Amino acid sequence: MTMAHAKRPKALLFDVFGTVVDWRGSIAREAQKLLAPKGHDRDWDAFARDWRGRYQPAMERIRSGERGFVRLDILHRENLVETLDAFDITGLDEAEIDHLNHAWHRLDPWPDAPSGLARLKREAIIATLSNGNIALMVNMARNGGLPWDVILGAEVARAYKPQPEAYLRSCEALSLGPGETMLVAAHNSDLVAAAATGMRTAFVLRAEEYGDPAHEDAKARGSYDVIADDFHDLADKLGIPRP
């Protein structure tokens, strides 16, 4: 399927963790690099998955109204303390914990992401629509060469996905109706929530995010406007030529 120019979304809004960057591999490498020299021998992939696993429950307290909005850096740090405890890792000072927490600011992009985003940017606004906070997204973009036009998402919207406000306020910030935009994500639940607000949807398969063919996001499970293998395949299907 190729999309004619007139039907192409004016803005592509991207989920980031897992869709644009490899959080699992990056966090496992950073944890090992900091902690192995201190004598800790652990399954660093499991460490990364444990830390990430505390992400949705932490946000859920905010989505439910039990807790006021705080940015993701703060949730990540609280969760890291829990993960360190769960893995029986002690003896880190506060600066070391902060450094490891900022590994989220240094996540490596999937190999196609920098060049794919640059290609997509020639024909559409490209924006983050992540639960990550602004500083995290800015530092990650500078680290990984991600050429965003604008950082949107939870901190600008003051709402965490999949709350509809997170999507709708991001579109509104661009002065676009949801139907003029498209969410690009590797996660079925995110795309289903975006579609419910009127956004168009593109599923990008990131099989290595979890490295588990049985994972719910190892295939597209909904009816999306585009299903793509990576960002260049997405550009092909949107009719955006190679440079």
Binding residues for its own copies, rule: CB under 8 A, are 73, 125, 127, 133-135, 137-138, 141-142, 147-152, 155-156, 173-176
Cβ-based nearer residue to its own copies, 176 or 218? 176
Cβ-based nearer residue to its own copies, 25 or 144? 144
What is the SS3 string spanning 104-145? HHHCCECCCHHHHHHHHHCCCEEEEEECCCHHHHHHHHHHHC
Cβ-based nearer residue to its own copies, 22 or 73? 73
- Token readout for 227 is 């299903």
In the complex, minimum distance from the CB of residue 81 to its own copies, in angstroms, rounded to a whole number:
19
In the complex, minimum distance from the CB of residue 73 to its own copies, in angstroms, rounded to a whole number:
7
Classify residue 119 by burial, with Cβ atoms within 10 Å: 0-12, 13-18, 19+: buried
Give the bridge partners for 109, in sequence order: 21
Question: What is the rounded distance in angstroms from the CA atom of residue 175 to the CA atom of residue 163?
Answer: 19
In the complex, minimum distance from the CB of residue 218 to its own copies, in angstroms, rounded to a whole number:
33
In the complex, minimum distance from the CB of residue 222 to its own copies, in angstroms, rounded to a whole number:
29
Cβ-based nearer residue to its own copies, 156 or 159? 156
Alpha helices in 87-229, H assignment, sequence order:
94-101, 113-121, 134-144, 154-157, 164-173, 188-196
